Structure 1
Amino acid sequence: MTIIDSVGRKRGYLLPYHRMLAEHDPELLSAYDTFYSRLTLTEKVLPPQEKEIVWIALLAAAREGVGKLHLKRGEEAGLSREEIQAAVALSAVSEAYTATHFAATHWAEYTPADTMLTAYRSLIATARGPIEPRVAELALIICHAARTDEKPMRLHLESYFHLGGSADALSEALAFLFLPLGANLLIEAVEIWAKAAPELDIPAPFAA
């Protein structure tokens, strides 16, 4: 079996860059296939349902239409349509942070920070539906990481670990950023976590 046949069989589809690499650099395609399989197909720390909730929220945040296959994978993993819709709703609500923080910063007399944070949290509670809070916090970290938005990342990092989240699961989820958004953005997101860890007294992404 050729590498292009293996890629197509494993994923159930072939993308244009798969075909290009198969034609001009099959060794690179083979190396990429191994990387992709480890990144997103191999079950590691995140259970399949949680993994696909994070993927769906991330791909909505990144406006990545090609990622529709993760909705199918989520359904195959046992996600209900309500859970899939809630993952998208969480991604949408993550964008509300910008408006609430803006109001708290510029109009504090009318929209104080604690009131706006409560409003943001209320939106999250409604949006997450059947998704458990810890998983919702993980998805929200990744959505804000997609924009390398430090303040809300710190907010959700603290909540995620307070709810019993693990550094291993967060590391796995952050690595997903590599595919739709690239290594440079992943570097920035991990740096935000590393900086926040000692300040928030939460686990760090790596040893100092």
Structure 2
Amino acid sequence: MTDEAQEYIDDMAAKRGYVLSYHKVMAKHDFPVLKAANGIVSAAYLDQRIIDRKTKELIFICCLTVLRAPRAQIQAHIRVALAEGASAQEVLEAIEITLPEAGIVAFQDGFEAWREIVGADGLEPTVSVVEGSAL
């Protein structure tokens, strides 16, 4: 690994607030392709343009939920959205937008990613239910 690749991955982490496992591996094994791919991401997502970073994160969370991205990837964006000033409720509403177009299964994946990050709990039924039922 070159010093340039290490500096690049460190800069990615600082600008994004996270790096994904594929970023780390690509920095070591195919640095030119990582730089090319990150250039597109920077232009569309990281560079300050008209839409603020918090809003971009909410959009990203919605898109990743629809695409059923890995939970860790959704959670990375939830953390950044919260750090950028989004409330837990705003993040939940972004995930709820996925319901009409992507359906309940995609929504549930995004919801679970959100629940784990914000520590949301729920109400337990006061009536008897069969253990393991889908309530």
TM-score under structure 2 length normalisation: 0.58
* Local SS of the residue matching 2:77: helix
Residues 146 and 164 (structure 1), Cα distance of their counterparts in 2 relative to 1, 3 Å cut: same
Q: d(CA) in 2 for partners of 1:192 and 1:173? A: 13
Match of 1:141 in 2: 61
After TM superposition, the structure 1 = structure 2 runs for residues 100-139 of structure 1, keeping only pairs within 5 Å, are 102=22, 104-105=24-25, 108-111=28-31, 119=39, 122-123=42-43, 124-126=45-47, 129-139=49-59
Q: CA deviation at 1:107?
A: 6.3
Q: In the TM superposition, what whole-angstrom CA distance separates every residue of 1:45-99 from its partner, at most 9, and x where no partner exists?
A: xxxxxxxxxxxxxxxxxxxxxxxxxxxxxxxxxxxxxxxxxxxxxxxxxxxxxxx
Residue of structure 2 aligned with 1:159, choices 37, 55, 80: 80
RMSD after superposition: 3.2
Q: CA deviation at 1:134?
A: 0.8
* Local SS of the residue matching 1:122: helix
Q: In the TM superposition, what whole-angstrom CA distance separates every residue of 1:1-60 from its partner, at most 9, and x where no partner exists?
A: xxxxxxxxxxxxxxxxxxxxxxxxxxxxxxxxxxxxxxxxxxxxxxxxxxxxxxxxxxxx
Gaps of 5+ in 1: 1-99, 198-202
Gaps of 5+ in 2: 1-19, 123-135
Q: d(CA) in 2 for partners of 1:117 and 1:155? A: 18
Q: d(CA) in 2 for partners of 1:135 and 1:141? A: 10
Residues 110 and 161 (structure 1), Cα distance of their counterparts in 2 relative to 1, 3 Å cut: same
TM-score under structure 1 length normalisation: 0.40
2:66·2:102 contact (CA, 8 Å) conserved in 1?
Answer: yes
Q: CA deviation at 1:179?
A: 0.1
